[in-house]
Chain A
Amino acid sequence: MIKLAGIKKSYDKHEVLKGIDLVVNKGEVVAILGPSGSGKTTLLRCINYLEKPGDGEISIGDFHFRCKRPHKKDVHSLRQKSAMVFQHYNLFKNKTALQNVMEGLVIAQKVPKEEAKRRSIALLEKVGLGAKLDAYPSQLSGGQQQRVGIARALALNPDVILFDEPTSALDPELVGEVLGVIRQIAKEGITMIIVTHEMSFAQEVANHVVFMDQGVIVEEGAPSELFNNPKEERTKQFLKRIRPEANV
């Protein structure tokens, strides 16, 4: 279980996260929606400390992390609990697809090289890139790079995988292949938090949807509830703006 309590984050005087509380159960797929500037990506990045939260507490499993003046070692431990799939893939450019997936296993988790290789190959095959093991990121399409990114995250076997708008940098025709892979792993019971603009995808894959605006969680609930029967005015307006065809 992942528990965020009172997460706050400010840039200078501007408060981006105003005390976020969120519980994500094991195996749950949570989609975070909201207009740009609502703080959803910042929240996601706080969970593995790519953004430093100013205050609050993050619990992943039985690991508790206080955000105020943390110890360097705790930051490292926190980061090892999660894995991130980035909007711009952020594959290691000087490493092949296979090396990208193996890196965290061999270097951070000290898995023996042979075993890491076997597991990494299996994962790359799973995301449909068994033929691209030795390709460098520059030789892969955006969709292929993002699938390597997903395999890299899966390899770490983390408590939670964080997806930061995983398809928003992709050409439209490549979105499908990436969503397909995410859909597939969602079915396997891996805990995931996804920040996304793909509404129909969120509705289909997520068990729980969170709507954020201006640094707070406005509303959260089951997808069918939140999409078809939103309670808050801000949620209604947001959904109307991005799905003018739907009646809410």
Chain B
Amino acid sequence: MVFDMEFALKSLPKIIAGIPMSLLISVFAILAGLVIGFLVTLCRMYKVPVLNRLAIIYVSFIRGTPLLVQIYVIYYALPMVADWAGMKLGLPISSADLPPLAFALTAFTIYSGAYLSETIRAALSAVDPGQMEAGYSVGLTTWQTFRRIVIPQAFVVALPSIGNNFLGLIKGTSLAFTVMVIEVMSNAKIAAADGYRYMESYVDAAIVYWLLCIVFERLFAWLEKRSGRYRSKSA
């Protein structure tokens, strides 16, 4: 068996067409994950009763189980939740309305939230407590100081790790095909099955993921440089 270059080039556009979906899932998951991660961190930092325990269990469970297993669990659990919400709460939803994307977005957000909460916790504790005091001393409220002083500084600390998480998510979206979401990997599988040329399609997919990751690696490097300007010695 030889590598069919022609087939590889021919299927490339089809596989590339999956990029928007892969990006949609990873961008949504990183943003929503940041919000969840932040809330989890707050529960843990302020030792909120009950929520603190739940947060610990959540993070430990997600970090201790494979993403693929989580996706399958969500795939079967989410319809149950939807039906329950529809029947008991009278919300206008049922399991039949759930698009495949809903499973993927839910699973990947829950997944990234757990990892990002660890990142955020470390980043927030890296900010000098004197910054909070300085905020109070000029009359800012706790939330104003958080938003204007502490979070921007923590963000710079967290960026490299957020970048890693994001690359992990991009690659992780290749598992979304298991719940019928058509993204890069699904398209590669479809192309492969069409022509019985598996290696060519998967090599295409690998290249697409790789290029995608290179672009975002660059983007994050640029972001790090830009947002960390205030830390450099020279003007």
**Interface residues in chain A, defined as those with a beta carbon under 8 Å from any beta carbon in chain B:** 48-50, 76, 79-80, 82-84, 86, 88, 90-96, 103-104, 107-109, 134-139, 152-153, 156
Residues of B within 8 A of A86 (CB): 130, 133-134, 137
Residue pairs across A and B with CB atoms within 8 Å: the count is 81
Beta-carbon contact of B137 and A48 below 8 Å = yes
Known: A86-B130, A94-B153. A108 touches B234 (CB 8 A): no
Q: Which residues of B contact A (CB under 8 A)?
A: 128, 130-131, 133-141, 144, 148-149, 152-153, 156, 229-235
Is there an interface contact between B149 and A80, defined as CB atoms closer than 8 Å? no
B143 CB, nearest partner CB in chain A, Å: 11
Partner pick for B230 among A50, A76, A93, CB 8 A cutoff: A93
Which residue of A82, A92, A103, A139 contacts B235 across the interface (Cβ within 8 Å)?
A139
**A-B CB proximity, top 4 nearest:** A104-B138, A108-B139, A84-B137, A90-B134
B139 touches A156 (CB 8 A): yes
Query: Roughly how many angstroms separate A49 CA and B149 CA in the complex, as a whole number?
Result: 19
Q: For the complex, what is the distance from the CA of A115 to the CA of B8, rounded to whole Å? A: 64
- Option from A94, A96, A103 in Cβ contact (under 8 Å) with B138: A103
A90 touches B232 (CB 8 A): no
Residues of B within 8 A of A79 (CB): 136-137, 139
Between A79, A83, A92, A134, the greatest number of chain B beta carbons within 10 A of the residue's beta carbon is seen for A92
Residue from B140, B152, B156, B234 in contact with A104 in the complex, judged by beta carbons closer than 8 Å: B140
- B149: min CB distance to chain A, Å: 5
Given contacts A94-B152, A107-B148, contact A83 B130 (CB under 8 A): no
User: Is B232's CB under 8 angstroms from A138's CB?
Assistant: yes
In the bound assembly, the distance between CA atoms of A95 and B138 in angstroms comes to 14
Is A48's CB under 8 angstroms from B136's CB?
yes
Answer whether A138 and B139 are a contact pair too, CB < 8 Å, given A86-B134, A90-B133, A92-B134: no
The residues of A that contact B156 with a CB separation of less than 8 Å are 94
Q: How far is the CB of A96 from chain B (nearest CB, A)?
A: 8
